[in-house]
Amino acid sequence: MIATPQSLHFAAKLPLQNGASLRDYSLSFETYGVLNEARSNAVLICHALNASHHVAGVYPGQDKSEGWWDNMIGPGKPLDTGKFFVIGVNNLGSCFGSTGPMHVNPDTGRIYGSDFPVLTVEDWVNAQARLLDVLGIETLAAVMGGSLGGMQALSWSLQYPTRVRHALVIASAPNLTAENIAFNEVARRAIQTDPDFHAGHFYQHGTVPKRGLRIARMIGHITYLSDDVMNEKFGRQLIAASQDDAQRDYFFSTLEAEFQIESYLRHQGDKFAEYFDANTYLLITRALDYFDPARKHAGNLSLALGRATAKFLLVSFTTDWRFSPKRSREIVKALLDNKRDVTYAEIAAPHGHDAFLLDDARYMGVVRSYFESVEVPT
């Protein structure tokens, strides 16, 4: 399946939750499959922290897909592009094509930097809805996302209840816990206190706060994996210790990586700092922190989800300690309190939060069955 990135420009102001607005912005997106005549088979995919509109397929010349959900989406895959028209969209404020902090503010002629407005999940959903307007799609067969993407899917069902027939909310939560916020905050402080950050205007200084980005990514990575899978994959294995030499002496260094988990994390941090935008990291983690549909209902999630009319699939993974099954069950309960149609699968998977991106026969099977049941009116 060949993927073709597209971009749409929006001149009109998008009012934002913080009271400001964005104008003259663009959204990058990709589509897979064919929109049927009734325009009833569209599925919108919402991405999580460091992903993009490139959800599936290959670009010309590639033999391996770099799409982040390529295992999920394609011809004959759980979300079958033979049946559905799938849309991947890069969110505003991201750093993969849609308008973000590294672009020029039309009001000032200068790069936004930290002046880019702080966006919310609700703002993203509003921007996605405008994209669908342009594509001529009134109603989504489904909206689907994992993690922060799952929050967007849930928010779609609340902001545009009549435009969503099914919402697939995977490895997600109705809001962040204090611990979740705490990890985000440490990552943000690492970036913001990096001298190369220059209060978010590092572009004009020709610097990148790579130190901070590295730390942010390392912290994030720890929380994406389960303790178990880390022990299985790395355990206490030393670097530069062959099978025959497992008992090599320690280096007795605080600076050199000694254990394989250390060099793995350093590598992940280095890679991330090369391509990810620091302001985007701040914005996206803040959108996570802020999401809390129950907030305007004094914390009553059942009351908050009363607006939703879609049918739901929720999936959680037993070893996910970032967005634990308990959090998905809160959503399930609140939907059931409203007598909504909910399917819930709790998958025993060892991979922690990352499981939502990985192949697991039961997980893929559940999503496949669910999409097989999604009707496509003609």
Interacting residues with a copy of itself (CB under 8 A): 17-19, 114, 117-118, 175-179, 181-183, 185-186, 188-190, 192-195, 200, 211, 214-215, 218-219, 222, 225, 227, 230-231, 233-236, 247, 250, 252-255, 257-259, 261-262, 265-266, 269, 282-283, 285-286, 289-290, 292, 295-296, 298, 321
Nearer to a copy of itself, 26 or 114 (CB): 114
Question: Helices 148-159 and 121-135: crossing angle, nearest 10°?
Answer: 70
Return d(Cα 303, Cα 1) in angstroms, integer: 42
Query: Residue for token digits 């099954």?
Result: 325
Active site residue ranges: 147, 320, 353
Nearer to a copy of itself, 127 or 143 (CB): 127
Question: Helices 121-135 and 278-290: crossing angle, nearest 10°?
Answer: 100
Question: Closest distance between a copy of itself and the C-beta of residue 177, in Å?
Answer: 6
Amino acid at position 289, single letter: D
What backbone phi and psi angles, to 5 degrees, belong to 134? -65, -35
CA distances, 282 to each of 128, 154, 245, 275 (Å): 21, 22, 43, 15
Nearer to a copy of itself, 235 or 377 (CB): 235
Residue 276 is given by DSSP the state: -
Return d(Cα 351, Cα 355) in angstroms, integer: 5
Question: Closest distance between a copy of itself and the C-beta of residue 185, in Å?
Answer: 5
Question: Closest distance between a copy of itself and the C-beta of residue 220, in Å?
Answer: 10
- By the 8 A CB rule, do 363 and 318 touch? no
Return d(Cα 190, Cα 306) in angstroms, integer: 39
